[in-house]
Amino acid sequence: MSINSVVLGGVVGRDMEVRFAQNGKAIGNFSLAVTNGWGENKTTTWVNCVVFGERASKLAPHILKGTKLVVNGRLDVRQYDKQDGTKGVSVDVVVNDFEFTGGKGGSNDAGQQQQSHSGGYKEPPMDFDDSIPFGYVGLQYGKHRIYAL
């Protein structure tokens, strides 16, 4: 069994571009800046994201430069011929699902959610069973925290 799944959160680097294949199917492309690390160790990785079909046409007006977005999809590796005649390799994320997390182009719900968390994060409930050999782990994402068992 193999699993090809990726979840990335970041900021859209350029407005989504939509083009159409010969069969009329829409193909949307945008870049996502994913930042890792802190202070001097902070690095940004640019990821190419692809959306297919009717979803690409409908999302294009909303996926704008500066939009904060979380995408869920699969990695797709493709080879192409460069202008100088050599072979190139591109790794893209084919987007299956997404969520606006606030900022330009995001939905009103995301903006309201971000405002409700502006006073800091909320601690997880501490009413879990002590016989379980693990506890909560908090992951920081922006002003939000994600808790998992």
Per-residue pLDDT of 60-77, as tens digits, reads 999 999 999 999 999 999
Which tokens sit at 7? 């979840």
113: confidence class by pLDDT, cuts 50, 70, 90: very low
The answer to whether residue 117 scores a pLDDT higher than 60 is no
Q: Strand 17-20 relative to strand 87-100: parallel, antiparallel, unpaired?
A: unpaired
**Cross-strand pairs, 87:** 81
pTM across the whole model = 0.65
The answer to whether residue 94 scores a pLDDT higher than 50 is yes
As a whole number of angstroms, the distance between CA 59 and CA 124 comes to 34
Model pLDDT, residue 1: 78
Model pLDDT, residue 38: 86
The single-letter code of the amino acid at 79 is Q
104: confidence class by pLDDT, cuts 50, 70, 90: low
